[in-house]
Amino acid sequence: MASAVKTLTILAKIKRYEQQCGCKINFVAQGEGGLTLDGDLSLFKIAAHSHLKSNSYIECLGGVEIGDYFHTGRDLTILSSNHNYNGQAIPYDATYVKKPVTIEDFVWCGSGVKILPGVTIGEGAIIAMGAVVTKDVPPLAIVGGNPAKIIKYRDEQAFNGLKQQKKFY
């Protein structure tokens, strides 16, 4: 019974988020935890065929845009702002430095990925489990580590062939 109540609470929260951001959010419950969208939800956009999983936290002050067929594991964190350490106080003041995050189509993030402000992740990129993405990721790149570094690239011909055949998961 407690599990059913928790599920209803998560679904109600997601419906509220959808009203605030004006987009459909596909949430996949996997274990404990829900979804937290924080900041200015009018700056959050996610395409219809993408999904988010349990324990995901997305901060939207600087704007977050997620393309189509985005897949993620649990515990995704996306930040689009940071404290202003060059402000009027030490270590930082009450202002924020806002930088949008863009995730293009067909991106796959493993569990525990952290994406920092100002990052663009190119089409078809794969982000390995636990990676901390501090800078832009080129299309079709496979990255991992802290900070995330390019490990290799996906096969462009195979990727484009599957895309042309509309073989989407």
Which residue has tokens 């996906």? 154
Q: Considering its fold, how many domains does the chain have in total?
A: 1
CATH number at residue 72: 2.160.10.10
* Position 53 in a domain: yes
pTM of structure: 0.92
Separation of alpha carbons 52 and 60, rounded Å: 15
Which residues are known catalytic residues? 83
* Position 118 in a domain: yes
Which residue has tokens 């999904």? 51
Task: Spell out the per-residue pLDDT of the chain, length 169, in tens.
Answer: 445 555 557 788 888 889 998 888 888 877 778 899 999 999 999 999 999 998 999 999 999 999 999 999 999 999 999 999 999 999 999 999 999 999 999 999 999 999 999 999 999 999 999 999 999 999 999 999 999 999 999 999 999 999 999 998 8
- DSSP code for 2: H
Domain span holding position 104:
2-164
* Position 169 in a domain: no
Which residues, in sequence order, are CB contacts of 131 under 8 Å at separation 6+? 109, 110, 113, 114, 143, 144, 145, 146, 148
